[in-house]
Chain A
């Protein structure tokens, strides 16, 4: 039994949002111009993630020696840093945390469908993710941060992929869950391509009733479209600044 009302009959969630409201979303790109080819910082509520992209390169730094480059497209490698201070309990994560491994496979699959592959044959792209603080929506933050960093690195994408988590409280779908809500409720994370209804990413780690899934996803898509607008705005601001400087 949760100590708190996760969704009150008056229609408010634990943090005061309504069911269809996103958390505060902030992002920046080109945060580390000297350290990487592309970089970004994404903050959804109290979840903060940093992403550095290197590439396209002829040799991937993260690649194991002897890995063959692919003539049909880039080899993506993904590394997730989840330092102990980022979560509430300061516990060290094992090097090959299974959950993080699974997440990185899903992200790779998602971005292999988003990057224009033919432009990057026989190259490597390294993605480094660092969690600074986590308050729910891990996968969604990762996905948004990667999209922005890839754009900053100038890697051609078909479109933005914006992601958000959607949970189910009894019969009510809740958009953009925080950690408290994630602990108690089943949820699904989806990533949407641009302004379309196409999903490049879905992950559901709990049981969800099938008949509710459609409502959850349609709410999620709306949320993703709003996030995409916010991300696009930031990219254009950064682009404008770049132009001024030159």
Chain B
């Protein structure tokens, strides 16, 4: 920034110019921006009276107030006294977890310069910092030092941007210490830059490193472990040397010229040294094998890879590799000779790679990671490696480094430094990863907090929520402030003509015989139904969905929270709501006997369930009864019940059967997943028994009408908003997904699954019956489900109409409309539908394609995470159930490796690996890859062979894995 004359347009406001040069595409670009300097920026301290007049209300009239406490923390050591903190960028970036802790760091000033640097370096950390500033308890303020006349300095000639920013931050600290001197408040600047500390001290600013500041605090010992590692680690020893990453310019160039490839790396959960990466120019994923080739990448990182020479291309491993089975010189640590390959050869190699994949050879091109575009680092849950400390070790309270084994098996161990190793042993802990240097075999991180004992119910629950990135903290005050002031006393207005134009548009359906049918114990009732015969012989059928968008207005804090959570998460004994309880279980929930707002889809249908007419509108309903599935079923089956409500339900049942038949005729798939339900003992809340989920006709009744409503709504919003309509699609599975399964079927059973259409698939699945084994068909459906693509949300403009298809449901277009209480997609769809029928204008958030793309991306991710979290929760409880019982059950072999088999036990819905060692004698084993058959001598000395699809008797127990602290199903052939 050059110094330019300042002009004063009005009193208290001056203008100067910010001049800088930006290089773009090789050219230099001089940019001049105006920069206004003003006096009226308050220091935000409660005790300062000079700034009183500077607190200006926001445009919508919200007053602004001083935030920094008049009685901040006092440190008597070093004569610091009562003080505020000013943070430098590096402190924020490295220690954001510590800043968020409620044990330390109150009354903190973030200079604007720092905020901008953080924003440019890491957007997620910027968001966390901004959230901290919103948090009333922490008293963090952003001080716009660059806009305040007294704390602004111009950039000097030849000064680097970095130096200039440092100087701005020091000036800001100086301003604060002078400004607050008369109130006997001091200011401490925290930075980890040694140079900056030195300069600041020379300028008379009280400056410290984060480490030395924390060491002055009374609760130091508690906080010490949470300090970021790069300040405390001093490592001389080089354990390994990973290849340095290529420079960004080289990466960019390589990707452009087609010699390097960018993609997201996916590390196998069976083998942590085997990664795969899908790149657009290759039909199949590339393999990345071994520690050195993976080159410090984490599962989920966006990386750049380079192909390896042809003689290193490999088959995917038919072995299972756990970290603990590898000693330091085992697989993956092979010495790699540096091979020099020219760019031209590399391109040729890429062509070979495509060819090799096309020829359906089992050799797969391999690659190595040469750069990381974006880290997927987040907080991780794990536990200390059991050998890091022994419980009975005497004394020795010195900080030592130990390894944390993460729950996610596809991730490496993390090295942390702690004094409390003994105390932390056997606990679930949260760690953050800080860095991974080329000379360190494992990444460095720091301790964040303890969740609780391993296997403790609450700790495990929190761990799995953290692991799946589920936001589970209580709703913040901002969010709760958006709820209706009346709370639980909120009621549908008595008079419908009270002048509210939106209320006037609602249809009064309180006379209709509406009821809801849900799983037992359901409190968030999204949907209710009614049906009646019309005078013309047709049927009127209504689906009524909770009118969540009446309460959740776009752009509010409540809406943002819902959008970021995107879905409710259902664990075995806990539900993490997307929306606050007040809405979900009361005001929106279509409870019986009370008036509720609803969004209704009303059809006229003929005898054969063909739609004659469809209408969409907002309504007021009064549900007559809330049934559980079984209860509804009993009532419909009971001939003595002849009341109108039951009659209506029978109409629904009949129509739903016809709808289902039509769907199946069109080729809808009936797939299976090994879903189980855990029964909780109501008194002790210990898991009691595991049961495979049962379905009655009433389930399918509700399901059919929900599907129909979703389809009808999807058509309507697509007509109105062809670019941004929120839809859901399910792509047809590529034939390659079924290759392995079909090959197994052919070899073992002489059967085949056809893939021409969903109809063909459905029919061929029906044909695959093994008369000796009634479960075989279900097993096959479970395995087929795993070969399918995942369904996904999308905004209509992103695909052509023919790609909208929902393969599994065999429908052209589909969306989610019927569960707005627990899915954000439905909330968006409600708003779009409301706009389509002219109820209210559509908020720009849902009209802007770019913004919709972000929303869609987030809900897809959250949806997936929620599913994983739900499954993990069941897995944990099933483990707890099995802990108490050891029994023999039927299992099916679903995978065969050269050193083990994977067995699925339908009774518990678990699958687990049985290693060859525990099957029998390793030396006598023989693996026939083409026949998927493993032959070995078992423990009794007799010859035994196992192949895929075999039914086997297994004894099931669960065993606590010493390394990960996870309880895993332990299977043994009986």
Contacts and interface: CB of A to CB of B under 8 A. Distances in A.
Interface stretch (A10-18, A55-63, A92-100, A238-246): A10-18
Given A9-B134, A16-B147, A3 B58 contact: no
A64 interface: no
Contacts of B930: none
A209 interface: yes
Nearest to A209: B844
Contact of B36 (A17, A19, A207): A17
A10 B142 contact: yes
B248 interface: no
A178 B58 CA distance: 21
Q: Is the interface of B mostly helix, strand, loop or mixed?
A: mixed
Interface in A1-49: 1, 3-5, 8-12, 14-21, 23-25, 45-46
A88 B119 CA distance: 24
A65 interface: no
B123 A178 contact: no
Nearest to B64: A11
A4 B60 CA distance: 23
B147 A46 contact: no
Given A19-B59, A24-B7, A171-B60, A9 B130 contact: yes
A88 B144 CA distance: 27
Contact of A135 (B13, B34, B36): B34
Given A170-B555, A207-B847, A209-B844, A12 B120 contact: no
A211 interface: yes
B153 interface: no
A1 B123 contact: yes
B555 A16 contact: no
Contacts of A211: 841
A24 B133 contact: no
Contacts of B144: 8, 10, 12, 16
Contacts of B847: 207
A16 B17 CA distance: 12
Point out which of B31, B34, B848 has the most chain A C-beta atoms below 10 A from its C-beta: B34
Interface in B813-851: 841, 843-844, 847-848
Contacts of A18: 56
Interface in A95-142: 135
B33 A46 contact: yes
B59 A173 contact: yes
A20 to B, nearest CB: 7
Contacts of A170: 555
Contacts of B133: 9
A19 B61 CA distance: 13
Nearest to B115: A5
A156 interface: no
B439 to A, nearest CB: 34
Interface string A176-214: 001010000000000000000000000000010111000
A4 to B, nearest CB: 7
A207 B847 CA distance: 10
Contacts of B921: none
B750 interface: no
A72 interface: no
Interface string B29-41: 1011111111001
Interface string B570-585: 0000000000000000
Report, as a range, how many residues of chain B touch the other chain: 35 or more
A180 B33 contact: yes
Interface string A215-239: 0000000000000000000000000
A89 to B, nearest CB: 7
B116 A24 contact: no
Nearest to B133: A9
B34 A46 contact: yes
Contacts of A24: 7, 9, 15, 34
A233 to B, nearest CB: 13
Contacts of A17: 36
A17 B134 CA distance: 22
A135 B33 CA distance: 8
B470 to A, nearest CB: 24
Contacts of A178: 33-34
Contact of A12 (B7, B17, B147, B841): B147
Contact of A210 (B59, B146, B841): B841
Contacts of A45: 34
Point out which of B59, B142, B841 has the most chain A C-beta atoms below 10 A from its C-beta: B59
B11 to A, nearest CB: 13
B240 to A, nearest CB: 37
Given A46-B32, A88-B31, A11 B119 contact: no
A20 B13 CA distance: 14
Contacts of B120: 3
A25 B15 CA distance: 11
Given A24-B15, A88-B29, A207-B847, A11 B58 contact: yes
Interface in B132-153: 133-134, 142, 144, 146-147
B939 to A, nearest CB: 61
Contacts of A8: 112, 142, 144
B56 A15 contact: no
A5 B130 CA distance: 11
A20 B34 CA distance: 16
Nearest to B17: A46
Contacts of A11: 56, 58-59, 64
Given A3-B120, A11-B58, A209 B841 contact: yes
B126 to A, nearest CB: 9
A10 B841 CA distance: 30
B357 to A, nearest CB: 36
A17 B59 CA distance: 13
A16 B848 CA distance: 28
Interface string B104-135: 00000000100110011001000000100110
Nearest to A23: B34
Contact of A16 (B31, B36, B116, B843): B36
Contacts of A20: 59
A186 B750 CA distance: 64
B134 A5 contact: no
Contact of B29 (A1, A25, A89, A180): A89
Contacts of B34: 15, 23-24, 45-46, 135, 178
Nearest to B42: A10
A126 B15 CA distance: 35
Contacts of A15: 33-36
Point out which of A17, A19, A207 has the most chain B C-beta atoms below 10 A from its C-beta: A17
Contacts of A14: 33
Interface string B1-45: 000000101000101010000000000010111111110010000
A100 B49 CA distance: 52
Contacts of A4: 116, 119
Contacts of A9: 130, 133-134, 142
B841 A172 contact: no
A170 B17 CA distance: 27
A19 B64 CA distance: 15
Interface string B266-285: 00000000000000000000
B844 A3 contact: no
Contacts of B123: 1
Nearest to B152: A16
Contact of B38 (A16, A46, A173): A16
Point out which of A19, A24, A170, A180 has the most chain B C-beta atoms below 10 A from its C-beta: A24
20 contacts: A3-B119, A4-B116, A4-B119, A5-B115, A10-B142, A12-B147, A14-B33, A15-B33, A15-B34, A15-B36, A16-B36, A20-B59, A21-B13, A24-B15, A46-B32, A46-B33, A88-B31, A171-B60, A207-B848, A211-B841
- Rank and list the top 9 A-B pairs by shortest CB-CB distance, nearest first: A16-B36, A16-B147, A24-B9, A15-B34, A172-B59, A45-B34, A24-B15, A19-B59, A17-B36
Given A11-B64, A180-B33, 9 more contacts: A3-B119, A16-B35, A16-B146, A18-B56, A25-B9, A46-B32, A171-B555, A172-B58, A207-B848
